[in-house]
A and B are shown apart, each in its own frame.
Chain A
Amino acid sequence: MELFIANKSIIHSWDSRIKILTFFLFILGIASLKSFVGLFFVLLISVFSLFLSKTNLNNLLKILKAPLFFLAFTFIILGLSSGGKIIYNIGPINIYYNGLILSAVISLRAISIIFIFATLFGSTRFSEIFNALNSFHIPSIFVCILLFTWRYIFLYLESISKLFSAAKLKGYSKIKGLIHIKTTTNLLTTLLINSFEQSERVKASMVCRGFNGTISFKENHKLKPIDFFISVLYLFSITTIIIFELWK
């Protein structure tokens, strides 16, 4: 499920703090682009970043599923309803040029952004991300919440899988309608009640171990000139594209 794959690439060795900040600003820059030329160049940079970071393409395709579904939906709705110049009509249904162009712009933006954050999550462990957030002075209580949520997500995915396997052995797959909703809700509630009981035990064990709301992370490495150089390259490229678009 996780995108991260341990590798030796320039993106992997890039300091995670600068990487997160740079990619966040880069993503905001992509979101401001409106021209196909600018978006094409940004897409090239995003694909090149993915290639550099050697991201697992199978996992990338999995995270593309939901956005691609939404983009297809947007294409249909905007293409049929945006108004303006009609390029084709089938009876009462009109297909609008403006709608298709707008959908194409949104799609290019979305795919470029997703490739950039796939590069980020494909080259940075979540522990490094939390460490970076801690160094940005994000309240430590929130970093703790992120860390513990991350740890328990996989545990509960396994729990829910076992609950549903047991239910299927009892004929769960064959039920429909309100009974299906009631049974699924009861399974969900079992998970919630079990998690509440577990949280009480975890809280007691953490208090015994002296938990005080802060987590000690390993010391951050010193920033190297190459970290700044890669950051400048990314930010310079997006700034140039934005200025070119504004000037045009």
Chain B
Amino acid sequence: MHISEGLLDPKICIAGYAAATVLLGITLKKTSLDSVPKVSIMGAAFFTASLIHFKIGITSIHLTLIGLTSLILGVSAIPAISAGLFFQAALFGHGGLSTLGINILIFGLPSLIVYGLFVFIRSFFKHKYLPFFAGILSFIASLLSTLIASFVIYLSGESFASLAWIFSGANLFLAFIEGIIAYIAIKRILFSKPQLILNT
């Protein structure tokens, strides 16, 4: 779901950086000093986990895990995701430097929305239903980030409309897999280490 180098107009890149700076600024203010080790270490863990390949049929995919990251790190997921995106661009060429701001928005905005919904749901439902909602929210996070990315690609010009559509279609399947993985992961976390998602 990363947008690679060369695709976007520099005006969109600069606007992306400006908006990402605002988003990061707000979320860094809500990130306490105490949580810096947790955010960084779990950010590194998520970065590593996103490199894992899941075999689906004849191909294999690797996931973004933005839904799962936001459920565990809360608002501090934005700095962790930003750091992860920076290193993905620098070490693997996934995404890019000029598109880093836009990519932060593509991953960060859905993770914030989904976290807000999760906090709301957590206060109404028993813990045994949380994995189910985590799966749905993870699917929604992935879907939203695909829609934002497709919209940004479309902004580059009408010729990119078909690219945006195909991009959306391909990532719809990924969103579904992200939902399943979030369900399994949250179920296991609730069993082994519930404070990981109940104290965010």
Inter-chain contacts of B45 with A (CB < 8 A): 152, 156, 191-192, 195
Interface string of B1-22 (1 = CB under 8 A from A): 0001111111001100000000
Question: Interface residues of A: mostly helix, strand, loop or mixed?
Answer: helix
Interface string of B143-177 (1 = CB under 8 A from A): 00000000000000001101100100000000001
**Smallest Cβ-Cβ distance to B43: which chain A residue:** A149
A185 in complex: contacting residue of B7, B25, B185, CB < 8 Å: B185
Do A149 and B13 have beta carbons less than 8 Å apart? no
Do A152 and B10 have beta carbons less than 8 Å apart? no
**B residues adjacent to A (C-beta < 8 A):** 4-10, 13-14, 24-25, 28, 31, 33-34, 36-49, 51-52, 54-55, 72, 79-80, 82-84, 86-87, 89-94, 96-98, 159-160, 162-163, 166, 177, 180-181, 184-185, 188-189, 192-193, 196
Do A31 and B13 have beta carbons less than 8 Å apart? yes
**Smallest Cβ-Cβ distance to B21: which chain A residue:** A138
Do B86 and A146 have beta carbons less than 8 Å apart? yes
Do A199 and B38 have beta carbons less than 8 Å apart? yes
9 contacts between A and B (CB under 8 A): A80-B162, A98-B159, A106-B6, A121-B90, A146-B83, A188-B181, A192-B46, A193-B189, A212-B33
- A interface, size bucket: 35 or more
Q: A149-B44, A199-B37 are in contact. Are A31 and B9 (CB under 8 A)?
A: yes
Distance from A72 Cβ to chain B, minimum over Cβ atoms (Å): 11
Do A199 and B6 have beta carbons less than 8 Å apart? no
Inter-chain contacts of B39 with A (CB < 8 A): 145
Interface string of A40-56 (1 = CB under 8 A from B): 00000000000000000
Inter-chain contacts of A192 with B (CB < 8 A): 42, 45-46, 49, 72, 185, 189, 196
Do A27 and B98 have beta carbons less than 8 Å apart? yes
Do B91 and A195 have beta carbons less than 8 Å apart? no
Most buried by B among A70, A157, A198: A70
**Smallest Cβ-Cβ distance to B161: which chain A residue:** A81
Inter-chain contacts of B38 with A (CB < 8 A): 196, 199-200, 203
